[in-house]
Each structure stands twice: as structure tokens, then as C-alpha cells.
Amino acid sequence: MSTRSLAVHYGKKAKKLEYRHKKIVDDFHRSRWREGDWTDDSDQMILIMRSLVDCGGKVDPVDFAKKFKTWIKSGFSEVGDLSGLGIGLTTMNVTSRPDFLIDPHEVARYVWDEQDRNIASNGAVMRTSIVGIHMFWSLDDVTKNARDFAKTTHHDPRCQASTVAVSVAIATMLQGKHMDKHGKFIVKDIIQDAYEYASTCLETDTEKKDLMFYLTCDDIEDLKLDEAKKIGYIYKSMGTGFWALKQDDFRKTITKIVMQ
């Protein structure tokens, strides 16, 4: 939904949005979910959790791929799902290939090559937060795990960098690093750690400069979250998360993001 559409439907209520809102826009996209339901972002994070548990804490791309295919077909029957919802074009393109269950990393790389190495959608970063919790004491392990889960569906280096940045930031906070004498996080130092690990996924100075722009953006409007044909760009999602990390009022921050 564009910023203009949001203003029309929710503008007068924007300062007091509620979990169960009084009137949900009943369009094709929103009507696929029950009111208050979570989306595929959380579903896929749960798939990562289940894979880590079943594999003894090890990242197994093939196991994750198998769980992914099952979820696409039937969702989570425990909560009444009939199938997985909200699957993006890149993810669907990769998971529908015959060899996905054999070598998901290679299939994702092939699809990326097939699309002129220019597909960087947000499907990998949206599910990655749990990776920052698992093995949070080792940023090297967090980085490797984030990349391995990302490459299961999204090979583009920007996708890998984004998942690393988010996961490392979470792990860094869990370690209790970069706190001032009042017990508050020094966000700029967390971002610097995230950048140092995430930038190892990239090759050129231009690519690294672009990453830093989105990590350090102070004005959410500069992210252009409703930009035509680019709303799914990976750095927009990642940049929004790091913009939110710099804010000090959760409700106002979430509302500001929603209204973009």
C-alpha cells in the first residue's frame, strides 16, 4: 500500500493504531490472512528454528529446504493453515526448481545468474533474526550461519550482507557489548560491528558504501519505502530495521514505519 493510500485509509487514525484495528482494508493482499495473524516472515523464522533444533544446532541447508517445501504446501497445520502465504517471486522461483531439495545453494545461485545477477529481494533478511540469537557468543559463527540460511533462497551478496548485518547486531546486543554507563546501547558502535561483518559479503567500495548508507540512514523518508517496483528491495527492509534501532519510542516508531 502506498503512502498516499495509507493516508486515505488510516491517516486520521495513525496516532492510535491498534493491534485489532477498527477497520482493516479488505483488499486482495490483506484478506489472505486472518486479522491479527502473523505473515510468512515469522513462519520462515520458525522453520529456521525447527531446522536448528532437529539438526542439533547445525545449519543444514537441505533440511531447511525440505521444511520450506512442506510449509509452502501446507503451512502450519497446528494453527489452521492450509498453505504457506506471502511467498515472494524469488523464493517461489528457487523453491520450485527440481533440484532445490538436493542443493538449494546451487539452485539459488543459478536463479540469480539467470536473472542477470540483479535480484535482491527481502525474503532472506525478514526471517533472519533468530540466527542472531543462536550462537550469539560467536560473531563469526553468526555470520556464517546467516549467510548459509540466506543462500538457501537468495544468493545475491546484498541479501547475504543484510542477513549478516541484522544477525550480528542482535548477537552483539545479546553479548552486552557497546553499552554506556547508564546501561543503554551505543547504537553507532553496534552498526559499525554489523557493517564490518556484513561488508565481507561484498566486493567493491561502491557496494560497501551503499550498505553503509542504508545502515546509517537517519531519515526514514530517504529510504523511499513505497518506491514503485522497489518496495521489496533488501536494503530498504534492512535499513528500516536499523533506522528503528536508533529511535526511542517503540509505538511511534512502528507507526511511522507502517505509515510509509
In the annotated binding site, the residues are 39-41
- Residues within the annotated binding site for Mg(2+)? 39-41
Partner residues linked to 179 by β-bridges: 185
**121 with 90: CB under 8 angstroms?**
yes
Distances (CA, A) of 58 to 44, 69, 90, 142: 17, 19, 25, 11
SS3 260: coil
How far apart CA 60 and CA 108 sit, in angstroms, is 15
| DSSP-derived secondary structure for 27-73 | -TTGGGS-TT---HHHHHHHHHHHHHHHTTT---HHHHHHHHHHHHH
The alpha-helical segments, DSSP class H, found in 98-232 are 104-114, 129-133, 139-150, 157-175, 187-198, 205-216
**58 with 50: CB under 8 angstroms?**
no
